[in-house]
A and B are shown apart, each in its own frame.
Chain A
Amino acid sequence: MSNRLLPRLLQTPAVLLLLVWMLVPLSMTLYFSFIRYVLNSLRKPEWTTPSISNWRGFGNYEYVLNAKDFWFAIQNSVFIVSFILVLTVVLGLGIAVLVNRSFPGRGIVRVLLISPFFVMPAVNAVLWINMILDPVLGLNGLAVGGINALVDGLRDFPILGSFFSLWPEFEPISFRATQTSSYAVIMMVAWQWTPFAVLIFMTSLQSEDESTKEAATLDGASAWSQFINLTVPHLGRPIAIVIMIQSIFHLSLYAEIEIVSRGNGNKNLPYLIGEFTSNNIGAASATGIFAVILANIIAIFLLRMVGKTLMD
Chain B
Amino acid sequence: MATVTQKSKLSNVLWPALAWIVAIIFFFPIFWLVFTSFKTDADAVKPEFLFRFTPTLENYTNMTQNYDYWKFATNSVITSTFATLFALIVGVPAAYAMAFDPSRHTKDILMWMLSTKMLPAAAVLYPMTFLTKNFLGIFDTHFLVILVLCLINLPIVIWMLFTYFKEIPKEIIEAGKMDGVTTWGEIKDILIPLAWGGIASTALLTFIFCWNEAYWTVRLTTIDAATLSKLIEGNRAPEGLFFGRLSAVSTAAIAPIVVLGWFCQKQLVAGLTFGAVK
Complex contact A292–B120 (CB within 8 A): yes
Q: Is A200 in contact with chain B by the CB < 8 A criterion?
A: yes
Q: Which of A60-68, A103-111, A152-160, A177-185 contacts B (4 or more CB under 8 A)?
A: A103-111
A 175-198 binary contact with B (CB < 8 Å = 1; else 0): 000000000000000010011000
Q: In angstroms, how far is the closest chain B Cβ from the Cβ of A91?
A: 9
Complex contact B116–A285 (CB within 8 A): no
Give Cα A270 to B258, complex, Å: 28
Q: Is A142 in contact with chain B by the CB < 8 A criterion?
A: yes
> Which of B118, B123, B125, B258 is close to A119, meaning CB atoms less than 8 Å apart?
B258
Q: Is A93 in contact with chain B by the CB < 8 A criterion?
A: no
Q: In angstroms, how far is the closest chain B Cβ from the Cβ of A258?
A: 7
> Which of B29, B118, B120 is close to A270, meaning CB atoms less than 8 Å apart?
B120
Question: For residue A204, which residues in chain B have a CB less than 8 angstroms away from its CB?
Answer: 273, 276-277
Q: Is B278 in contact with chain A by the CB < 8 A criterion?
A: yes
Given contacts A200-B272, A284-B126, A310-B110, contact A122 B121 (CB under 8 A): no
> Which of A10, A14, A110, A116 is close to B269, meaning CB atoms less than 8 Å apart?
A110
Question: For residue B26, which residues in chain A have a CB less than 8 angstroms away from its CB?
Answer: 112-113, 115-116, 191, 194-195
Q: Kindly report which residue of chain A lies nearest to residue B157, judged by CB atoms.
A: A14
A 183-225 binary contact with B (CB < 8 Å = 1; else 0): 0000000010011000110111001000000000000000000
Q: Which of B61-69, B90-98, B192-200 contacts A (4 or more CB under 8 A)?
A: B90-98
Q: Is A128 in contact with chain B by the CB < 8 A criterion?
A: yes
> Which of B32, B127, B275 is close to A28, meaning CB atoms less than 8 Å apart?
B127
Q: In angstroms, how far is the closest chain B Cβ from the Cβ of A287?
A: 8
Give Cα A303 to B93, complex, Å: 23
Q: Kindly report which residue of chain B lies nearest to residue A281, judged by CB atoms.
A: B126
Q: Of residues 145 to 202 in B, which have CB atoms within 8 Å of A's CB atoms?
A: 151, 154-156, 158, 183
Question: For residue A128, which residues in chain B have a CB less than 8 angstroms away from its CB?
Answer: 29
Complex contact B114–A303 (CB within 8 A): yes
Q: Of residues 229 to 278 in B, which have CB atoms within 8 Å of A's CB atoms?
A: 229, 232-233, 236-237, 239-240, 243, 246-247, 250, 253-254, 257-258, 260-262, 265, 268-270, 272-278
Classify the secondary structure of B's interface with A. Answer: helix
Complex contact A32–B127 (CB within 8 A): yes
Q: In angstroms, how far is the closest chain A Cβ from the Cβ of B99?
A: 10
Q: Is B208 in contact with chain A by the CB < 8 A criterion?
A: yes
Q: Kindly report which residue of chain A lies nearest to residue B242, judged by CB atoms.
A: A130
Q: Is B36 in contact with chain A by the CB < 8 A criterion?
A: yes
Q: Of residues 9 to 62 in B, which have CB atoms within 8 Å of A's CB atoms?
A: 12, 15-16, 18-20, 22-24, 26-27, 29-30, 32-33, 36, 45, 47, 50
User: How many chain B residues have a CB neighbour from A under 8 Å?
Assistant: 95
Complex contact B127–A118 (CB within 8 A): no
Question: For residue B257, which residues in chain A have a CB less than 8 angstroms away from its CB?
Answer: 118-120
Q: Of residues 280 to 312 in A, which have CB atoms within 8 Å of B's CB atoms?
A: 281, 284-285, 287-289, 291-292, 295-296, 298-299, 303, 307, 309-311
Q: In angstroms, how far is the closest chain B Cβ from the Cβ of A291?
A: 4
Q: Is A26 in contact with chain B by the CB < 8 A criterion?
A: yes
Complex contact B254–A119 (CB within 8 A): yes
Question: For residue B247, which residues in chain A have a CB less than 8 angstroms away from its CB?
Answer: 127, 131
Q: Which of A16-24, A40-48, A82-90, A161-169 contacts B (4 or more CB under 8 A)?
A: A16-24
> Which of A110, A120, A298 is close to B228, meaning CB atoms less than 8 Å apart?
A120
Complex contact A241–B116 (CB within 8 A): no
Complex contact B265–A109 (CB within 8 A): no
Q: In angstroms, how far is the closest chain B Cβ from the Cβ of A28?
A: 4
Question: For residue A203, which residues in chain B have a CB less than 8 angstroms away from its CB?
Answer: 269-270, 272-273, 276-277
Given contacts A145-B47, A199-B269, A291-B122, contact A10 B93 (CB under 8 A): yes
Q: Kindly report which residue of chain B lies nearest to residue A254, judged by CB atoms.
A: B215
Complex contact A18–B113 (CB within 8 A): yes
Q: Is A15 in contact with chain B by the CB < 8 A criterion?
A: yes
Question: For residue B18, which residues in chain A have a CB less than 8 angstroms away from its CB?
Answer: 98
Give Cα A74 to B114, complex, Å: 22
Complex contact B274–A123 (CB within 8 A): no
Question: For residue B269, which residues in chain A have a CB less than 8 angstroms away from its CB?
Answer: 110, 199, 202-203
> Which of A25, A207, A271 is close to B277, meaning CB atoms less than 8 Å apart?
A207
Q: Kindly report which residue of chain A lies nearest to residue B215, judged by CB atoms.
A: A254
Q: In angstroms, how far is the closest chain B Cβ from the Cβ of A58?
A: 17
Question: For residue B278, which residues in chain A have a CB less than 8 angstroms away from its CB?
Answer: 207, 237
Complex contact B183–A105 (CB within 8 A): no
Complex contact B239–A137 (CB within 8 A): yes
Q: In angstroms, how far is the closest chain B Cβ from the Cβ of A18?
A: 5
The 10 closest A-B pairs by CB, nearest first: A288-B123, A25-B124, A103-B16, A270-B122, A7-B97, A28-B127, A7-B101, A238-B276, A14-B94, A122-B232
Binding site for A on B (CB under 8 A): 12, 15-16, 18-20, 22-24, 26-27, 29-30, 32-33, 36, 45, 47, 50, 90-91, 93-94, 96-98, 100-103, 106-107, 109-111, 113-128, 130-131, 151, 154-156, 158, 183, 208, 211-212, 214-215, 218, 228-229, 232-233, 236-237, 239-240, 243, 246-247, 250, 253-254, 257-258, 260-262, 265, 268-270, 272-278
